Amino acid sequence: MRKLDFKNKWIVVTGASSGLGKALAIKLASKEGANLIITARRKERLDSLKSRIENEFSREVIVVESDLSNPDSVENLFRVSTSEKEIFGIINNAGMTDFNPADIKDYEKYEKIIEVNLKSLMRLSLMFLDYFKEKGEGAILNITSMGAFFPLVYQGAYTASKHGAQVFTEILSKENSEKNITISSFAPGGIATEMLSNSGLDKLRGSDDFFNWSAEKVAEKAITAFKKKKLLSVPGLVYKLGLILKRILPRKTLLYFLEKSYRKK
């Protein structure tokens, strides 16, 4: 199977102001020779990343400030991207979590998690899929999570959103398998990014914990899998073994161990 080639092609990367999104943008520009449309809420960080990529790697970068919890902002991102350049691919990376027992008082926060992690991913995937069909080619990579497969206790809304994103991506891929469009998912485990500290997960396990990989390492694995057009890629032997163990353990036993693992100190 012929691999994807990103050289001199335009790729949209969401959630690019920090963490995995930033690492993906840098890898795409420096190693793959791609041009980028980068988006997130923090425009000053995007501008800084744009300057770095243009100066260090001589690639073109367009910044689109967007809050993907707002449907109008999602529509604007698609409209601006496709009107500015001929887009070859999109990486739906933007995400957020909350690390607390489920409580009705936090429901607005859960709605925002669902909007960013699932609904914006679905909307962008569908809009770009339609655009790619007209072009006759294209590629979509949706970053999900090991939370798509495991019931991460104390992260209910996050886990639900990632499970939905994973299932949606797989179905979308199957429904369009005969078209010249790659639809892939990448499900990493822990990543040492701001999301750990913003959610409080860093107090449970430090950023240097064995299970928390660097954003740069995860980005490299993600792009490699995307180029190979893998439907689903789970990086790391420990996580692959975890998926096997999940099939063996009774559900109550799995929930017991996950609750013990994620219980706040």
Domains and CATH numbers, the chain: 10-262 (3.40.50.720)
The string over 120-131, giving b where at least 16 C-beta atoms fall within 10 Å of a residue's C-beta and e elsewhere, is bbbbbbebbbeb
Q: Which residues, 6 or more positions from 16, have their beta carbon under 8 angstroms from its beta carbon?
A: 22, 24, 25, 36, 38, 39, 40, 46, 49, 93
Query: How confident is the prediction along the chain (265 residues), in pLDDT tens digits per residue?
Result: 789 999 999 999 999 999 999 999 999 999 999 999 999 999 999 999 999 999 999 999 999 999 999 999 999 999 999 998 999 999 999 999 999 999 999 999 999 999 999 999 999 999 999 999 999 999 999 999 999 999 999 999 999 999 999 999 999 999 999 889 999 999 998 887 767 666 666 566 555 555 677 899 999 999 999 999 999 999 999 899 999 999 999 999 999 988 988 886 5
What the block records as the tokens of 225 is: 């899998």
Q: Are 25 and 38 in contact (CB under 8 A)?
A: yes
Q: Residue 10 forms beta bridges with which residues? A: 35, 87
